Amino acid sequence: MSLTLELMNWVLDMVLQIIRELLGKVTMSSEPVNVNEFKALAERALPKMYFEFYAGGAEDEHTLKANEEAYQRITIRPRVLVDVSRIDMSTRMLGYSISSPIMVAPSGLHKLANPEGELATARAAAASNTIMILSFGSSYSVEEVAASCNAVRFFQLYVYKQRHVAANLVERAERSGYKAIVLTVDCPRMGRREADIKNRMIVSKQKNVEGLVSTEVDADGGSNLEAYVNSTLDPSLSWKFHT
Ligand SMILES: Cc1cc2nc3c(=O)[nH]c(=O)nc-3n(C[C@H](O)[C@H](O)[C@H](O)COP(=O)(O)O)c2cc1C
């Protein structure tokens, strides 16, 4: 009798063990393993308007496609029988050591995807021992991101028609310990992002310019975002730039 009970318990344990393993495998296999799978998850998780803001490009998206295809033309040439047991991809950027030549590029409005927005991105940059480039159009302010973690931070600057805005942001970034200014020079006009127009993409409050300029926008037929950028950024910015 006791032998039968023992046997039953043993079988039950085995079954539970197998179920646990199976469940484990199911969870593991549904974990995203590459950036395309993360993108598919984001599409499911985010409102269409926000997903297309992050994932979309301008006009017919020729440049977006060309950028992705460019990576497919890069081939890594393996050199066999080389000791790769210890790999060091670390490098230096403007004198700062980073774990690999990969940094966080500036992109605006992270809070549309997650309430922690750029605070979380900066934490991830710190954990990966790389540099966070905070966008001028961040959802959290220069100061809030600086206070949230000790990642090496650069600040990306757009130059507004009102030059005092750029001066103010540079001063605040310097005061908050940002180590470099990354000047964006390819946005004298916002690209015509058709998905944003169709979605009537609303530009959220520009945290960094609160109190400096009016954040009210007249959508003027285009997307709210396009109208905002085109009415604020200085299209006359050139090599002759002076304050
Ligand atoms: C959703 C999104 C938002 C972006 N926001 C900014 C920005 O606020 N400032 C900026 O200088 N560049 C911005 N960029 C441009 C990126 O920093 C980067 O230069 C561009 O995406 C090209 O790199 P990629 O081919 O790796 O995407 C943004 C790009 C995306 C996709």
Token code pair at residue 141: 């302010």
212 pLDDT band (50/70/90 cuts)?
confident
- pLDDT of 14 > 50? The answer is yes
Using most ligand atoms within 8 A of CB, pick from 36, 107, 157, 160 the residue to mutate for ligand 1.
Answer: 107
Going by C-beta distance under 8 Å and a sequence separation of 6 or more, which residues neighbour residue 205? 215
The pLDDT, as a whole number, for residue 124 is 96
Q: Is the pLDDT of residue 28 over 50?
A: no
CB 108 near ligand 1, within 6 Å: yes
Q: What percent of the chain has pLDDT over 70?
A: 83
Closest CA to ligand 1's atom 31? 54
pLDDT at 220 over 60: no
pLDDT (tens digit per residue) in 154-168: 999 999 888 899 999
Cβ-contact 68, 200 below 8 angstroms: no
pLDDT at 7 over 60: no
Whether the per-residue pLDDT at 30 is higher than 60: the answer is yes
**Interface ipTM > 0.90:** yes
- Distance between Cα 184 and ligand 1 center (Å): 10
The distance from CA 109 to its chain's CA centroid, rounded to whole angstroms, is 9
pLDDT of residue 201: 87
Summarize the confidence of residues 174-196 as an average pLDDT.
94
Query: Atom 4 (ligand 1): residue with closest C-alpha?
Result: 107
- Ligand 1 contacts CB of residue 107 (under 6 A): yes
Name the token pair of 146.
Answer: 């600086």
The mean pLDDT of 96-106, rounded to a whole number, is 97
pTM of this prediction? 0.84
CA distance 7 to 243: 84
Element counts in the chain: helices (H) and strands (E): 9, 5
pLDDT for 126 equals 97
Q: How confident is the model at residue 22 (pLDDT cuts 50, 70, 90)?
A: very low
pLDDT band at 26 (very low <50, low <70, confident <90, very high): very low
Q: Hey, where are the domains in the chain?
A: 90-243
Query: Is pLDDT of 195 > 80?
Result: yes
Token pair, residue 122, equals 């900066």
- CA-nearest residue for atom 1, ligand 1, is 54
184 lines ligand 1 (CB under 6 A): yes
Q: Which residue has the higher pLDDT, 150 or 22?
A: 150
Whether the predicted pLDDT of 194 surpasses 80: yes
Please say whether the beta carbons of 199 and 52 come within 8 A: yes
Q: Which residues lie below 8 Å from residue 149, measured CB to CB, with a gap of 6+?
A: 119, 122, 123, 126
- As a whole number of angstroms, the distance between CA 179 and CA 176 comes to 9
Does position 119 have pLDDT exceeding 90, yes or no? yes
Q: Residue 8's pLDDT band (boundaries 50, 70, 90)?
A: low
Residue 205 DSSP one-character state: P
Q: What is the mean pLDDT of the chain?
A: 87
Q: Assign domain 90-243 to its CATH superfamily.
A: Aldolase class I (3.20.20.70)
- Nearest residue (by CA) to ligand 1, atom 24, is 67
